[in-house]
Structure 1
């Protein structure tokens, strides 16, 4: 029975069974006493009758026959009729039958005492059982109140077996789940708070510039060359703001898990060829080259658009930090476990002081000469790769270039 899996209920039934067995033994003992006392009373009465008859001269042989020989129905009826005339029968008041009345009173006291003792034991077992259950529930209630008051570490003791402790284990699981939910909510609030602070901080500069450009354009409205110059500056500032906002929104969506990745098997070689083509014009203008190196038909399970953006941000970062004649090499390979994509450049490299910070949002190196960057490209790339359950690492030598490595597990159902 599932009910008996509860330790307290099992102990409760054990105690009840012990009490019932003791009661049965006591009843057997009491019944034996009743029989013994009844026999004693009957024989005492017979002794009295025989002694009385002997004292009054009745022949002993008649007395012996009266006690030993079997009686006929006629003799029994005759004796009954005679005693009835004397008022001596089974309907006689017990108080007139002194010996029987004393025996009855004696055993009434025995039975009342037995029932009282048996009842007290049963009540004690019930009391102890429900007291323990009450204490257990009160402890659980105290723990729950502490949790509701803000103590997220509190848990109800659920190490024992039984239905009640299964309930406590379920409550503990629920509190753990609620804790995780609270932590996610706290993370989301902190994330939004930081995001708003970042956006506010980053927009201050271009907004101030736009305000200044607008004032200059109004003041120099008659100077076509100046107006044209600051309109171009305004367009650049607006473009910078758009890139900033779009990047922040993408990172926010990735970090909060609100983006559903449209994953499918994609040929890595075709993916990087398309990516290289998008940088072809810039490479030609700046005399920088992009080299592709890897086998055909290497399948990566991913969201193509997002992966292209991640690799594209790394390539753009490389192009931003290299001189004319520089090159970026994108390579890929397949191992029994991983799909590995590397982006190597021969640019300026990353200062050792910056190597552990380049994936941080808005991080700008004090050694960087790039005044246009906003410090979100590599952070966004990292978020995209991690959203695909991948990893991104960097190795760099100052003055010789950098190597970014993207590793993805070969699992088609991730």
Structure 2
């Protein structure tokens, strides 16, 4: 966490400093351009004014205007066509001025730097007049460069406060950004050290992304807690459901040992042991089938089958059981319903659903089995007029070893619907249920055709 915080602070500081430098460079460029334009606009204005006086009023008026203001900071030079200097005015504070440093061939609007890089540097611009003469005006750049130098120095001095501000901002940002992660770590430590699965990270509603991360983490904990509770429930159910056959098995064996001389009793005891062990094996095998189907490890023998005869076989198989209970079974579907599936596993699905419907439909009730086909799927519906399922239990009936309140009196393992959902899911299909207590249930199996 410390290295992450350090990296975040470092990157934020670097980005903040670089951004500040870019902004400062831009501001400095704008300011320097403004200063240059301002100082040169005065030079060019004076240049054109003197040129106008020279061309309109002559050289004498030009000379009077040039030397009238002794405080004028500009250099003024007028060169005739023969390159003889007619007029030259040099500001009084210019020392060691050498006229030979000036160039007469500069174009209008261009500036020539003289003594560049020294304290006495100045710039000169020229304008060629109509009679061929050249008018030059120059100004010292010392004050301008000194002002720009001061601005640059202030920017350099501002780097340290900028770095400090960036570092403090980085600390704040890193703390805010990593705080949800710290909370997640603390919550995980609490779960690991104290095994408190009900611990949750509080959502502060300060940052949408962090809030979403915390919400997803809390949702994951909810699912883990539900899974752990489900595992405990499964283990409890397995232990409960195994205890009865194992107790019977043990009791039968003990009774057989006590009556060891009676061959008939021994034979009956062995038969009971086989029956109970078969019940245990069925439970374990069904659990294995559910797990394999849910994880994709179940081996399915896919082939193109007509599901109509499969439904007929299942109805014939359970017809006697339904008749014994006084429940009528009616089936109606086309003779040809082809799809790609594992025949034995589809038979297992239909058998489990029909067996449940018969179990929970009282005498005098009715079960309707229908099937139809669309372009994309085959739908098989089993509708009964049984006791129905409460809304609170609908989401739980697919869980392994789950048995509702009304099913505890019936013989069974609580694995039939789990196996149904797992097998249908392995076929990339889906199974749906709708039910109302006292009115019956409707199970619909949708298989891709």
Give the aligned partner of residue 251 of structure 2: 212
Deviations 1:40-71 (A, max 9, x none): 9x9679xxxxxxxxxxxxxxxxxxxx99479x
Indicate yes or no: 2:369 matched with 1:334: no
1-structure distance, mates of 2:409, 2:225: 37
Give the aligned partner of residue 17 of structure 1: 26
Indicate yes or no: 2:183 matched with 1:146: yes
Give the aligned partner of residue 99 of structure 1: none
* Superposed CA RMSD: 5.4
Candidates 403, 409, 424, aligned match of 1:363: 403
Give the aligned partner of residue 129 of structure 2: none
Q: Is the 8 A contact 1:143 1:155 kept in 2?
A: no
Indicate yes or no: 2:239 matched with 1:200: yes
Deviations 1:88-119 (A, max 9, x none): xx9xxx9xxxxxxxx99977864542331343
Give the aligned partner of residue 405 of structure 1: 443
- Compared with structure 1, are the counterparts of its residues 105 and 217 closer, same or farther at alpha carbon in structure 2 (3 Å cutoff)? same
Count of paired positions: 337
Offset at residue 231 of structure 1 (A): 1.9
Structure 2: tracts of 5 or more residues without a match: 1-14, 47-65, 73-83, 89-98, 101-114, 120-139, 188-199
Offset at residue 220 of structure 1 (A): 0.7
Indicate yes or no: 2:380 matched with 1:350: no
TM-score, with length taken from structure 2: 0.55
1-structure distance, mates of 2:236, 2:364: 40
Of 126-135 and 218-227, more deviation after overlay is shown by 126-135
2-structure distance, mates of 1:351, 1:44: 110
Q: Secondary structure at the match of 1:341?
A: strand
Larger proportion of helix: 1
Indicate yes or no: 2:431 matched with 1:390: yes
Candidates 8, 26, 42, aligned match of 2:35: 26
- Compared with structure 1, are the counterparts of its residues 214 and 407 closer, same or farther at alpha carbon in structure 2 (3 Å cutoff)? closer
Structure 1: tracts of 5 or more residues without a match: 1-6, 46-65, 71-78, 81-89, 95-102, 160-168
Aligned ranges for residues 230-379 of structure 1 at < 5 Å?
230-253=269-292, 257-259=295-297, 262=300, 266-276=305-315, 279=318, 292-300=331-339, 304-320=343-359, 329-334=368-373, 339-344=378-383, 349-350=386-387, 356=393, 359=397, 361-363=401-403, 365=405, 370=410, 372-379=411-418
1-structure distance, mates of 2:206, 2:392: 48
Give the aligned partner of residue 114 of structure 1: 151
